[in-house]
Amino acid sequence: MTDPFTAGDLDAPIQIHAGNPVIDGGIAAIPKMLLRFARFIDCGEGQLLNDRQVLLITMVIGLHEDHNLRLSNLPMTATLRTLEDDLGFFRKVGLVFTTRDYYPPVNSRPPRMRSQIWDIRSLMLNLDAIQRLWLNRQTQKVAEWHSGGERGLRPVYEFPAGFRHKVVVPLPVLEDIAADPRSFYPVPDKWLRLIRATFTPEQIATFKRTHHSLPTYAKTASRPTSGGTASWGTPTTAKTAGRDRPTNSKTASRVVPTDAQTVGRRVPTNAQTASHLVKDSEEEEGLVPEEFPDDPVVARFVALKGNGYQFTERDREQLAALRADGYADDEIQHGIDAAFALPGKPQRFAQCARVTRNQPPATGKPEPQPPAKRNVENQKPELLPELTDAAALLESIAGNSPSPLAKLKALADGCDATARKHNSTGPAWTLRAIRLSVQAKDPLAYAKAVLDDWIENGPELRSRERRQKAPVAARKTDWNKSIDA
């Protein structure tokens, strides 16, 4: 699902947090270590920062006092899409993390973004590590020059060709992300895995209890104005028609705070304000946030999937079905590894579940008790998830009334025996057939014809090949035939 607040990210004022009150308070100079040593940062697999990416960071640092600074209006020739990709690259390699700052919620209105905060502490600390190494070697080289009689010009140390510094995310940044991962949006999955490997659950719980918002001096520092006291970056308010409306923030003078204790904290967001932060634009709706999953099967799949994937409700149902059929966690994990070893990366856990079912469970499935006879129309919550999903899909495309659950269950029961020979189930086949029938005039009749075809020929053969091999008379299908016949 596309993040509805992406446009807010593009137009929101950009602020930074470098961990230094002097820099955060406003300075026109650019740190020289950025200009000198950014070219030595190894972003992984030998990839270096290019000049455009260094210029982007330089622009943001140099112009961060400008209240009109936004990603959408940076004075650069690069396209907005390119700048977005560069910012995503910074997050991926661990140099820059971003958080969103919101105005306090007003009644039931959607949240309004105040600014996007660039946390560049990791970038600065990695540059500082390179600078310290250079200073040590420069001092040694100058000492040798002095001891040699100071012949020639004063030497300047140069790193050897091929010198690289691998990015290391500092612990304070990891602690802040562990304490409030939803504020750092989005966070690549590899950094969440690093947090789980670095800190114990008890430490993470301690971070959550003691966590405070980032000290954004350029955003919340107190400053006097002609109309009273306001926060830096926060417009003063005036009562108009019974509501607080922001006035022009340019009327406020800029006073840098001298004491970090006087700096305000970011306004916390309520559940409605932050609910969209856990939705990735590349994933479907209904994701369940898994900051630090404790389930070993979930952790294995997420680690191999990467890209910040989060387990969905459907994935959980597939996992629960495997366990209900007697598969142990180690067997499921072996199935996950086998699925990722095949050509093509699995997109959902269901593909791993199918590979796992290629081998019967070692423990065996417990004997099910015969269920009591019930009215199928009234047992929707107890049906397999595939039939529930098929019914919902059918109702959405055909508006069936009454509920089609009874007919779907009849279809599933009719093909279940054959489906199990193909390492699947009747409900799973039924759901696939319904998905194929979304454009049909009579979806149920079309799905029944598809299932009859699969029962006779199997689901692996492509429909065109199957129809070419069949006699001409057999290719004619009465799609309007009722499944009740």
Give the pLDDT confidence score for residue 37 in this predicted structure: 94
Give the pLDDT confidence score for residue 384 in this predicted structure: 62
Give the pLDDT confidence score for residue 365 in this predicted structure: 52
d(CA 208, CA 277): 18
- The structure tokens 């932050």 sit at 274
Low-confidence ranges of the chain (pLDDT < 70): 1-8, 21-28, 65, 67, 211-294, 307-308, 363-386, 393-403, 460-485
Locate 458 and state its tokens: 């199997």
Across the chain, mean pLDDT equals 71
Q: pLDDT digits over 4-46, tens only?
A: 556 667 777 777 777 776 666 656 578 899 999 999 999 887 7
Give the pLDDT confidence score for residue 7 in this predicted structure: 61
φ and ψ at residue 483, rounded to 5 degrees: -75, -10
d(CA 388, CA 143): 78
Q: pLDDT digits over 331-356, tens only?
A: 888 888 888 877 777 888 888 888 88
Q: Which residues, in sequence order, are bridge partners of residue 287? A: 312
Domains of the chain plus CATH, in order, are 6-210 (1.10.10.10), 297-356 (no CATH), 379-475 (no CATH)
Give the pLDDT confidence score for residue 241 in this predicted structure: 36
Give the pLDDT confidence score for residue 368 in this predicted structure: 52
Per-residue burial over 426-453, b if 16 or more Cβ lie within 10 Å, else e, is: bbbbbbbbbeebeebebbbbbbbbbbbb
pTM greater than the 0.75 cutoff? no
